[in-house]
Amino acid sequence: MKRRRIGVLTGGGDCAGLNPAIKWVVKTALDDRLQAERGIQCEVIGIHDGWKGLLFDETTQEEYITPLTREMVNTWDRYGGTMLGTTRTNPYEKGKDRSRLVLNNIGKLGLDALVIIGGEDTLGVACKLAREGVNVIGIPKTIDKDLSETDYTLGFDTALNVITEEVDKLRTTAGSHKRIFVLETMGRYAGWLALEGGESAGAYIILIPEYDFSVDKVNELVMEGKAAGARYNIIMAAEGAKPAGGREFVKGEVADDFGHKPLGGIAEYLAEQIRKATGLDSRGIVLGYIQRGGAPSAYDRRMGRYFGIAAVDLVVAEDFGKMVCFKAGKIACCDIQNVVGRLSLVNTETQYDIERYNGRRTIFYRKEEKSKVPADSKRC
């Protein structure tokens, strides 16, 4: 019987869906029937606090390293966040490279494979370690859904549900006071959260980083809505959206280990612009970290499960340097090196209405096509 010791860690911003993925890595790797069938006996080692957990020394090893059992993880899929903890530690940080220590510790722990549940930054580190000979498998997670090569990243669906529920709550007070609310979502440089959150919640205007907006146009649309009888309106603005000719709004100048400055401020800015130009009572509201919180939705639990199982399958097959993904409705895998260095962004030609600053209003119709309903759509 072969023996395999698998490390698992979560890195970057937390979100719902991480615990289901950890649980199913453990349950699959330690499944008696599968182990017998595959002739592999597995151990799973939980690494705490992302890459920071692999920077341990003799005095801190115990704090960061925990063997995981099936019993321990049994109920984890019901909970948000990550039971393993997370940080934005970058072992390859410019001017402070600690990657040798990480490599030594991977050796010290005797890890045959490392399952990394993370977004662009965390998987970027995984990719570098893979080049140094570490057997890595990635699992995509981020509420921003900005990873290339996958149609889904863990945490996104739960965050959309949070946004939709919060907008529902906002509507009653917005209606009572006849206010315009500008709601700022997370998402960094990608507009998926604002766009799909805005579509789910029925926002009147949606502003995304992929299309610079005109403040005048926003004001025109607001006045148009009012003239059409709207008592109030909800504007969804991604934290990375910016006015034409302007820059993203940043909350502070201190960047994290990966060089990202914290974004934020667009909601207040825009609410003030609307107030000044239209005289309407306008307020900015920042949804913030609650988008990352709460119990995972049914979809995140199920996707976490599939991704966790698929990751262990790849370990067993010794098909390393891969990220499990969701592509065209199927769980699949791709080279991790194709994921890092390029974000998946909203296509403003096919997924955004640049006239109304909103989601698309046509699914099959294309302006340049003569027939309004193309042949394949008739089959639906």
List residues near ligand F6P by CB under 6 A.
Answer: 13, 88, 119, 142-144, 186-188, 239, 256, 262-263, 292
CA distance 6 to 65: 12
- Is residue 25 within 8 A of residue 44, CB to CB? The reply is yes
Q: How far is the CB of 115 from ligand F6P (least distance, A)?
A: 20
Beta strand pairing call for 113-118 and 136-140: parallel
First to last CA, the chain: 51
The partner residues of 154 in beta bridges, in order of sequence, read: 141
What is the residue type of 218? V
CA distance 104 to 228: 66
Q: Which of 250, 299, 293, 326 is nearest to 163 (CA)?
A: 293
Q: How far is the CB of 122 from ligand F6P (least distance, A)?
A: 10
Residue 163 structure tokens: 């946004």
Q: How far is the CB of 88 from ligand F6P (least distance, A)?
A: 6
Q: How far is the CB of 292 from ligand F6P (least distance, A)?
A: 6
- Is residue 113 within 8 A of residue 136, CB to CB? The reply is yes
CA distance 297 to 146: 19
Nearest-CB residue for ligand F6P? 186
Q: How far is the CB of 144 from ligand F6P (least distance, A)?
A: 5
CA distance 118 to 98: 19
Residues 6+ apart with CB under 8 A from 226: 233, 278, 280
**Closer CB to ligand F6P, 135 or 153, in the complex:** 153
- Is residue 241 within 8 A of residue 376, CB to CB? The reply is no
Which residue in 49, 121, 144, 257 is the catalytic one?
144
**Closer CB to ligand F6P, 289 or 365, in the complex:** 289
Q: Which residue has the tokens 């965050």?
A: 159
Residues 6+ apart with CB under 8 A from 179: 173, 232, 280, 281, 282, 283
**Closer CB to ligand F6P, 179 or 242, in the complex:** 242
The partner residues of 139 in beta bridges, in order of sequence, read: 117
Q: How far is the CB of 316 from ligand F6P (least distance, A)?
A: 31
376 noted as active-site residue: no
CA distance 329 to 340: 22
CA distance 19 to 25: 10
**Closer CB to ligand F6P, 112 or 196, in the complex:** 196
Q: How far is the CB of 283 from ligand F6P (least distance, A)?
A: 22
Q: How far is the CB of 291 from ligand F6P (least distance, A)?
A: 7
Going across the sheet that includes 205-207, the strands are 205-207, 233-238, 180-185, 282-286
CA distances in angstroms from 355 to 114, 206, 361, listed in the order given: 47, 11, 11
CA 378 to chain centre: 35
Residues annotated catalytic, as ranges? 144
